[in-house]
């Protein structure tokens, strides 16, 4: 009888302990959010998305997380009726969700899986987290999930109306032209022009894709002494000078660090394959992560920083690509091989789209302005973003100085003229300033 009594007592105690354990609150940290962003980056690199498309993939999950977190915040305010086309959201389940941080991560992943090719990779990651959270506190998880999905499904509906799907069926860029100034596909893959209709997407903050239409590039001319010919020769001569210094030169290190070209083709015998790299937008998302970690930003500020940065990056690509296919300017590599030196090759592989303006310059200018607004000027940091891709850390005294280096890296890499770099950086700074001035994240 005594043994039976103790067995029953132990059973009751075990049941109570299990119930108590199951009801522990679910703790979500900034590391959980960083991990979700990193997982999305990993999948994007695997799927080889173009830089403009990658910017779209980053921005919508961040907005979904931000909106889930901040419908009733005393510090941050909703972006509804601030971003183009985003109307007031239905928040029916707000009161039921006691863990908004958990709900925001769920919302992030729900949108992210709709944007990539390898949905199963996001889904498997999500399901492993779902199973972990359920064992901690199923009631809290379910209420957070219901709310996170409610908000994120509304973001998905808004996302699906941005004209992206329509651009998938629009015609390719027509490369057949007799105009010597017009862009042509470049070695080694001679790929067609990427995303010629990107300016038709609905922007987030811009009034239109052409709001920051840059000044016209120097008039095309192969006449010696003309501004354009001088810029062309500058690329040719600078490249030769850099090569004489060797692979350890500062210019080559800078060019490679900021390459971020997901379309680099590698030839191995009879085979050609893509070398996996992050995009320019992904590099600045990585810098945002570094700034959040260096300042020990709380969960809410972390989501805010990612969201504001990704909005600037997304509109930067819309603005830049609008000009790229308006001017359709030929790349230095094509002209140098045709008219100066048949054997010459750029230090970096030329990406597959027109030259003007420089995408890195526009995106870096925009990103540096919003990050400066969030974290302050003269924010020194060590940029470790490229370590996973075999490139060493570089250190910067501010976001703006990092942007300047990213811009000039395109000149060092022999893939842009000087005007595209300098005017592109100004274009990006103007766009980043607009995001800072026009959109109110803080109450």
Q: Which pLDDT band holds residue 174 (cuts at 50, 70, 90)?
A: confident
Q: Which pLDDT band holds residue 198 (cuts at 50, 70, 90)?
A: very high
Specify whether the CB–CB gap between 195 and 163 falls below 8 A.
no
DSSP string, 237-279: HHHHHHHHH-TTSHHHHHHHHT---TT-EEEETTEEEEPP---
Q: Which pLDDT band holds residue 131 (cuts at 50, 70, 90)?
A: very high
Q: Is the predicted pLDDT of residue 271 greater than 70, yes or no?
A: no
Q: Where are the alpha helices (DSSP H) in 328-354?
A: 332-339
Q: Which pLDDT band holds residue 173 (cuts at 50, 70, 90)?
A: confident
Specify whether the CB–CB gap between 265 and 272 falls below 8 A.
yes
* Domains of the chain, start order: 25-165 (1.20.144), 177-438 (1.10.606.20)
Per DSSP, the three-state class of 27 is coil
Closest CA to 158 of 92, 105, 79, 103: 79
Give the integer Cα–Cα distance in Å for 68 and 442. 15
Query: Would strands 381-383 and 271-274 be described as parallel, antiparallel, or unpaired?
Result: unpaired
- Structure pTM? 0.94
Q: Is the predicted pLDDT of residue 370 greater than 90, yes or no?
A: yes
Overall average pLDDT of the 342-353 stretch:
97
CA dihedral of 367, 29, 33, 133, whole degrees rounded to 10: -170
Per DSSP, the three-state class of 191 is coil
């Amino acid at each position: 009888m005594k043994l039976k009594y103790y067995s029953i007592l132990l059973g009751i105690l075990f049941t109570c302990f299990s119930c108590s354990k199951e009801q522990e609150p679910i703790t979500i940290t900034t590391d959980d959010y960083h991990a979700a962003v990193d997982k999305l980056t990993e999948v994007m690199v695997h799927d080889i998305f173009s830089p403009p498309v990658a910017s779209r993939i980053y921005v919508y999950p961040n907005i979904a997380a931000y909106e889930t977190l901040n419908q009733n915040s005393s510090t941050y305010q909703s972006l509804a009726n601030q971003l183009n086309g985003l109307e007031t959201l239905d928040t029916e389940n707000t009161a039921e969700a006691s863990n908004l941080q958990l709900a925001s991560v769920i919302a992030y992943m729900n949108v992210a899986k709709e944007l990539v090719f390898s949905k199963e990779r996001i889904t498997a990651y999500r399901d492993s987290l779902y199973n972990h959270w359920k064992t901690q506190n199923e009631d809290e998880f379910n209420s957070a999930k219901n709310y996170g999905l409610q908000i994120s499904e509304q973001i998905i509906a808004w996302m699906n109306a941005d004209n992206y799907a329509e651009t998938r069926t629009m015609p390719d860029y027509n490369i057949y032209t007799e105009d010597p100034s017009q862009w042509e596909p470049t070695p080694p893959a001679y790929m067609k022009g990427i995303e010629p209709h990107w300016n038709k997407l609905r922007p987030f903050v811009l009034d239109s894709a052409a709001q920051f239409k840059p000044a016209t590039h120097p008039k095309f001319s192969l006449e010696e002494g003309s501004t354009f010919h001088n810029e062309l020769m500058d690329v040719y001569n600078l490249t030769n000078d850099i090569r004489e210094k060797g692979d350890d030169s500062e210019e080559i290190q800078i060019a490679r660090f900021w390459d971020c070209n997901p379309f680099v083709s590698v030839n191995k015998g009879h085979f050609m394959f893509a070398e996996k790299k992050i995009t320019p937008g992904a590099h600045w998302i990585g810098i945002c992560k570094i700034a959040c970690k260096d300042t020990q930003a709380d969960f809410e500020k972390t989501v805010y920083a990612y969201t504001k940065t990704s909005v600037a990056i997304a509109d930067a690509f819309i603005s830049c690509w609008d000009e790229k296919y308006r001017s359709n300017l030929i790349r230095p590599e094509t002209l140098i091989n045709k008219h100066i030196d048949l054997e010459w090759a750029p230090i970096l592989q030329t990406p597959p789209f027109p030259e003007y303006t420089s995408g890195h310059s526009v995106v870096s200018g925009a990103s540096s302005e919003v990050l400066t607004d969030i974290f302050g000027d003269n924010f020194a940091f060590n940029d470790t973003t490229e370590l996973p891709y075999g490139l060493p850390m570089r250190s910067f005294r501010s976001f703006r100085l990092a942007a300047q280096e990213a811009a000039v890296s395109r000149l060092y890499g022999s893939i842009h003229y000087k005007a595209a770099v300098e005017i592109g950086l100004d274009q990006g700074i103007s766009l980043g300033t607009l995001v800072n001035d026009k959109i109110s994240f803080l109450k």
